[in-house]
Amino acid sequence: MELYEEVLIKALSQQRMEVTFPDLRLDAQALVGEKCYRALEEIRDIIRDRSLTDPECYQKIEAIIWALEEVGSSGGVRHDWG
């Protein structure tokens, strides 16, 4: 559930906010689902990139972490080397 909340917070932070929300029709599940699907597509593309050599594996992992961070999930304490 923590990842869901991280993604939702990031997605909501990018939305326009008003003092009142009379017409707000927000489906949090659909919003998070869309963001997660895009992140998974990006991760898939990184993994499928056969143009990278084995030493570039580090870069693949870094790119995956960046994709997670882009939707609001922290890389945690293990991602302080980037």
Mean pLDDT of the chain: 76
Identify the three-state secondary structure at position 24: coil
For the chain, the structural domain boundaries read: 2-13+27-75
Give the pLDDT score at 2.
85
Query: pLDDT per residue over 33-57, tens digit each?
Result: 888 888 888 877 877 777 877 777 7
Q: Burial code of 44-69, b = ≥16 C-beta within 10 A, e = fewer?
A: eebeeeeeeeeeeeeeeebbbbebbb
**Contacts for 80 with CB less than 8 Å, ≥ 6 apart:** none
> Within a 13 Å sphere around the CA of 47, how many CA atoms are in the beta-carbon half?
9
- Give, as one character, the DSSP assignment of residue 65: H
What is the average per-residue pLDDT within 16-36?
73
- Whether pTM exceeds 0.85: no
